[in-house]
């Protein structure tokens, strides 16, 4: 690592030399060194990042008039137009399919809550569960009506990971059956594997490959601690689910073999295990220990629902800053932040608007100001830079997944991705986290520049949240593109402020709640430094001779690298 870091420092020194462009001669005449001129050029661009513009973006995007920027809504479209206007002012070029826009075709689904049905068929009779009290479920992505009855088999986390010597499917047959599984993955897994196997898509693919016909979601003790049932169920059936539609007109990631699904409250899960060889408490203990305990539960369950569908579109907003190097300008660094939030919903303290100030008006505001700094540089970076405000992240990474499958630039020309999602700037920032950086050469780049903003790079402090798969960069990782997800770290520069406590309190109390609005505190110096370090990171990547590479033997690199 030290050798790699030294090489990068040499590269960065070369970058400093080229950064001043046409100012080299004047610098020499005045006695100023080339490095001084280059640093001055960078500092002039970074000085444009300030509170006034960031706050202005936030006040527009997180205003009640935007109604939470739900994907497919008129308020989201207003927000997209706002970003276009800022990109135009900055001097970016449109890089969508339709000017600035890439319209993402989607099939929206909304469950008829009156039809939502879960029935237990046990030896002592049938029992029907109550909507929101005992269970919740979403609509089917495609079919207007589904109903399935089948034997239930407990399948742990629903994971088959032979390289880790772990499988929840050993010794059980789930063909033609409904599986009951916990979310997430065993805490005993290394954090990369834990993130990958926590993916709902990975679990669905495994279940379908083994012949399952339905899925019942169970809540582990960790899930129960993170989110109460009241919070989980509050907006069940209120908001539409969405899938992007491919060029053949099919909904993405759709598994017609899965004919029903539901998530159970703890009391309903207790009853599900009532006649089983193990209790639900036994299952919870096994999940905590990361030990498979799969077994048939000795009952059948019916899952049924009706779903209404609507074809909609919602745009990604895409601008580009062309690179200066004739050989490298056809390669792209991608900066992105999701523009959508969750719209309106069940009232909390009388407020029905889920403004999403931190999630992710803040990310978009910093994206805009990152673009402004790059565009102001006298000498543009060698590689081109795409700036994307994405739709549908809150609907399941819809906009990023669509772009990753149908990019508006050649797929193999995108060399790195930097994602800004919910940067919580609640305290004087001392460190940053770059989720995913450890998988590629991007880690050494980031480590080499963060010190310029009086920051240090720290590893993932909360692997239980598996954040690496939960935001838009994962859509790019699955296409083999080295990616990072940048967020503030837990360490406060003020020893009297517990950064981790404030971070976790926001997740527990304000995440996806109406209170994530302009009433939340913002440490403005940290906001500026966080934005500035993002510019420095992209600038270093854009000016390297070689494109970023996956680390040899890396878990994600081995799975997805081109």
Q: Is 31 helix (H, G, I), strand (E, B) or coil?
A: coil
Residue 183 lies in a domain: yes
In sequence order, what are the beta bridge partners of 384? 332
| 14 in a structural domain | yes
The reply to whether 26 and 118 lie within a common domain is no
- Residue 320 in domain: no
What is the distance between the alpha carbons of residues 155 and 311, in angstroms, rounded to a whole number?
35
Helical spans, DSSP H, in 276-407: 280-289, 363-375, 398-405
Q: Is residue 59 domain-resident? A: no
Distance (Å, whole) CA 303 – CA 214: 8
**On the CB side of 204, how many CA atoms lie within 13 Å of its CA?**
13
63 with 335: CB under 8 angstroms?
Answer: no
Residues 35 and 134 occupy one common structural domain: no
Do 203 and 285 share a domain, yes or no?
Answer: yes
Q: Domain end: 278, 310, 342, which one? A: 310
Sign of CA dihedral 20, 21, 22, 26: positive
Same domain, 42 and 126: no
Per-residue pLDDT of the chain (562 residues; tens, 9 = 90+): 433 444 344 334 333 333 333 333 333 333 443 344 456 678 889 999 999 999 999 999 999 999 999 999 999 999 999 999 999 999 999 999 989 999 999 999 999 999 999 999 998 899 999 999 999 999 999 999 999 999 999 999 999 999 999 999 999 999 999 999 999 999 999 888 999 999 999 999 999 999 999 999 999 999 999 889 999 999 999 999 999 999 999 999 999 999 999 999 999 999 999 999 999 999 999 999 999 999 999 999 999 999 999 999 999 999 999 999 999 999 999 999 999 999 999 999 999 999 999 999 999 999 999 999 999 998 899 999 999 999 999 999 999 999 999 999 999 999 999 999 999 999 999 999 999 999 999 999 999 999 999 999 999 888 878 888 889 999 999 999 999 999 999 999 999 999 999 999 999 999 999 999 999 999 999 999 999 999 999 999 999 999 999 999 999 999 998 8
Q: Is the Cβ–Cβ distance between 88 and 118 less than 8 Å? A: no
Q: Are strands 166-167 and 125-128 parallel, antiparallel or unpaired?
A: unpaired
- Its pTM stands at 0.92
Q: Are residues 11 and 142 in the same domain?
A: no
Residue that terminates a domain, selected from 310, 345, 373:
310
Q: Are residues 134 and 32 in the same domain?
A: no
CATH number assigned to the domain comprising residue 149: 3.50.30.30
Is 139 part of a structural domain of the chain?
yes
Domain end residue (candidates: 263, 286, 310): 310
| 553 exposure class (CB count in 10 Å sphere: 0-12, 13-18, 19+) | exposed
Is residue 40 located within the same domain as residue 172? Answer: no
Give CA–CA dist 308/271, Å, rounded. Answer: 31
With respect to residue 116, please indicate whether it lies within any of the assigned structural domains. Answer: yes
Task: Give the domain range for residue 253.
Answer: 109-310
Query: Alpha-carbon distance 304 to 118, whole Å?
Result: 7
Residues 173 and 293 in one domain: yes
Question: First and final CA of the chain: distance in angstroms?
Answer: 24
Q: Clarify whether residues 149 and 21 are in a common domain.
A: no
Are 278 and 173 in a shared domain? yes
Which H/E stretch holds residue 109? Answer: strand 101-111
Q: Same structural domain for residues 19 and 144?
A: no
Pick left, alpha or beta for residue 237 (phi over 0 → left; psi -120 to 50 → alpha; otherwise beta): left
Alpha helices by DSSP H, listed for 396-498, are 398-405, 442-449, 473-477
Q: How many CB atoms lie within 10 A of CB 228?
A: 11
485 domain-assigned: no
Same domain, 28 and 152: no
Helix, strand, coil percentages, rounded to 5, for the chain: 40, 25, 35
Give domain status of residue 190, yes or no: yes
Number of domains within the chain = 2
């Amino acid at each position: 690592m030290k050798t790699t870091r030294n090489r990068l420092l040499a590269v960065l020194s070369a970058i400093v030399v080229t950064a001043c462009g046409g100012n080299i001669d004047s610098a020499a005449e005045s006695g100023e060194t080339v490095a001084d001129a280059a640093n001055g050029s960078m500092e002039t661009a970074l000085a444009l990042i300030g509170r006034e513009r960031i706050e202005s973006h936030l006040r527009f995007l997180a205003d009640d008039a935007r109604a939470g920027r739900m994907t497919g809504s008129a308020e989201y479209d207003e927000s997209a137009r706002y970003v276009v206007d800022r990109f135009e002012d900055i001097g970016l070029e449109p890089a969508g399919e339709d000017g600035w826009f890439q319209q993402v075709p989607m099939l929206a689904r909304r469950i008829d809550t009156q039809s939502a049905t879960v029935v237990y068929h046990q030896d002592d009779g049938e029992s029907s569960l109550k909507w929101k009290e005992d269970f919740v479920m979403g609509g089917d992505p495609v079919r207007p009506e589904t109903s399935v009855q089948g034997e239930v088999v407990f399948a742990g986390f629903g994971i088959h990971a032979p390289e880790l010597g772990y499988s929840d499917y050993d010794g059980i047959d789930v063909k033609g059956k409904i599986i009951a599984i916990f979310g997430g993955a065993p805490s005993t897994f290394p954090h990369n594997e834990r993130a990958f196997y926590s993916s709902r898509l990975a679990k669905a693919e495994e279940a379908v490959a083994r012949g399952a016909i339905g899925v019942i979601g169970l809540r582990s003790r960790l899930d129960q601690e993170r989110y109460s049932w009241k919070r989980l169920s509050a907006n069940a059936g209120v908001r539409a689910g969405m899938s992007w539609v491919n060029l053949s007109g099919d909904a993405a990631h759709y598994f017609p073999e899965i004919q029903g699904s539901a998530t159970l409250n703890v009391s309903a899960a207790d009853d599900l295990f009532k006649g089983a060889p193990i209790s639900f408490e036994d299952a919870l203990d096994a999940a905590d220990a990361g030990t498979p305990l799969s077994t048939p539960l000795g009952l059948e369950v019916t899952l049924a629902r009706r779903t209404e569908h609507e074809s909609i579109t919602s745009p990604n907003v895409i601008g580009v800053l062309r690179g200066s190097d004739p050989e490298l300008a056809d390669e792209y660094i991608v900066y992105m932040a999701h523009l959508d939030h969750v719209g309106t919903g069940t009232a909390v303290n009388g407020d029905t608007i889920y403004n999403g100030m931190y999630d992710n008006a803040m990310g978009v505001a910093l994206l805009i100001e990152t673009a402004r700094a790059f565009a102001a540089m006298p000498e543009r970076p060698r590689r081109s830079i795409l700036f994307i405000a994405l739709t549908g992240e809150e609907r399941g990474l819809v906009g990023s997944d669509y772009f990753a499958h149908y990019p508006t630039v050649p797929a193999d020309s995108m060399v790195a991705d930097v994602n800004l999602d919910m940067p919580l700037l609640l305290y004087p920032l001392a460190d940053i986290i770059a989720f995913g950086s450890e998988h590629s050469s991007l880690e050494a780049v980031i480590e080499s520049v963060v010190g310029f903003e009086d920051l240090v790079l720290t590893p993932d402090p909360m692997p239980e949240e598996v954040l690496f798969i939960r935001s838009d960069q994962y859509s790019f990782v699955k296409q083999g593109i080295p990616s990072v997800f940048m967020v503030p770290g837990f360490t406060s520069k003020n020893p009297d402020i517990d950064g981790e406590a404030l971070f976790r309190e926001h997740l527990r109390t304000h995440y996806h709640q109406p209170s994530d609005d302009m009433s939340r505190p913002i440490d403005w110096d940290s906001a500026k430094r966080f934005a500035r370090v993002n510019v420095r990171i992209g600038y270093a990547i854009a000016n390297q001779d070689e494109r970023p590479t996956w680390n040899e033997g890396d878990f994600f690199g081995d799975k997805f690298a081109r």
